[in-house]
Structure 1
């Protein structure tokens, strides 16, 4: 097995929204804001090469939305999925599976693209299966008013229409061992229903793709919960459970949204679980 970080692009989000009720005087120490109160956000995906499988976890925003839409998110940098894949000798047509932690637009938008004539939509990975789970799919296709703006039908419905959609099993508790793609999955419901956190066993390490359970290293303190979360008190409990496991078992936490910290480990302290070490992907994957 080999792992590769895939940079799908960078954007900015309101710092207050990213940290909920936490005062700016606290969160800006780790996530400094610009004059518009916006903080740097990455969309760092992960590619798993395992035998004849090439699995991409999450796909970023994509590029099919309008200029007005992207104007809300202050895109920055020149990263793209295609550039990142090419760096490692791959093409998007090589991808066999796209695993989506959840179906918010900044995690799955790159899965679907305009067709050649821009008259409709088609899978951006024509040879891949798209993986979700039945509970989250229903949550996303029949959205509540709180999340409706994040679940864009043009990102989601073409997966099913293409015939390339597959569902993972659901666990009896909160952990699915040895999923169809070979890694364990931790299910978290605070941010959105049945978000999936892949846990990949790699060279004696456990690499956890944190998605929106832990967006940045600045979100380590338990009360530092995003305003976007639908059930913030549940997120707090899920974070506490997962971070305790991470500290006790020396998990390596791959941060999808942290523009400046790629992988971290954590440790138990008198103040709770806190940052231990910061690593680049090259340090851990090579």
Structure 2
């Protein structure tokens, strides 16, 4: 097995929304804001090369939305899925599976694109299966009013219409030891219903793709929960459980949204679980 970081792009989000009820005087120590109160956010995806399978976890925002839409998110940098794949010698056509942690637009928007004439939406990875789970698919295709702006039908419905959609099973205890794709999955329900956190056995390590359970290293304190979460009190419990498990087992936490920290480990302290070490993907994957 080989792992590759795939940078789908960078954007900005409101720091207050990213940290909920936490005062700016606290969160700006780790996530400094610009004059518009926006903080740097990455869309760092992960590519798994495992035998004949090439599995991409999440796909970022994509590029099919309007200029007005992207204007809300202050895109920056020149990273893209295509550039990142090409850097490692791959192309979109090589991808066999796209695993979506959840179907918010900044995680799955790159899965669907316009055709050349911009008359039809089509899979951006024509040879890949798209993986979700039935519970989250139901949640996303019949969205509540809180999340309706994050579940965009143009990102979601074409996956089913093209016949490339598949579901993994949801376990009764929220931890699947081995999904259909060869890695375990932790299911979390605080941010959105049945978000999936892949747990990948890599050499002698466990790499956890944290998605929105832990967006940045600045979110390590248990009360530091995003304002976007639908069930913030549940997120508190899920974070505490997972971070303690990560500290006990020395998991390596791959941060999808942290523009400045790629992988971290955590440890037990007198104040609870805290940051232990930071790594680049190159240090861990090479």
Which bin holds the TM-score, normalised by the shorter protein? over 0.9
Q: How does 1:187-266 map to 2 (within 5 A)?
A: 187-266=187-266
Structure 2 runs not aligned, ≥5 long: none
For residue 172 of structure 1, report the CA deviation from its aligned partner: 1.4
- Quote the offset at 1:154 in angstroms: 0.2
Q: Identify the residue that residue 122 of structure 1 maps to in structure 2.
A: 122
Per the alignment, residue 63 of structure 1 pairs with 63
Counterpart in 1 of 2:177?
177
C-alpha displacement at 1:133, in angstroms?
0.1
CA deviation map 1:30-51 (0-9, x unaligned): 0000000000000000000000
TM-score (norm 1): 1.00
After TM superposition, give the deviation of residue 146 of structure 1 in Å.
Answer: 0.1
Paired position in structure 2 for 1:277: 277
TM-fit CA distance, 1:108 = 0.1
Q: Please, which runs of 5 or more residues in structure 1 have no aligned partner?
A: none
Describe how 1:10-159 pairs up with structure 2 within 5 A: 10-159=10-159
C-alpha separation between the residues in 1 aligned to 2:271 and 2:70? 39
Q: CA deviation at 1:168?
A: 0.2
Q: Distance in 2 between matches of 1:174 and 1:130?
A: 21
SS at match of 2:200: strand
**RMSD, aligned α-carbons:** 0.3
Q: Give deviations 1:210-232, integer Å, cap 9, x for gaps.
A: 00000000000000000000000
Alpha-carbon distance between aligned partners in 1 of 2:126 and 2:268, rounded to the nearest angstrom: 44
Alpha-carbon distance in structure 2 between the residues aligned to 1:155 and 1:147: 14
Q: Secondary structure at the match of 2:185?
A: strand
Provide Cα deviations, 1:53-108, integer angstroms capped at 9, x if missing partner: 00000000000000000000000000000000000000000000000000000000
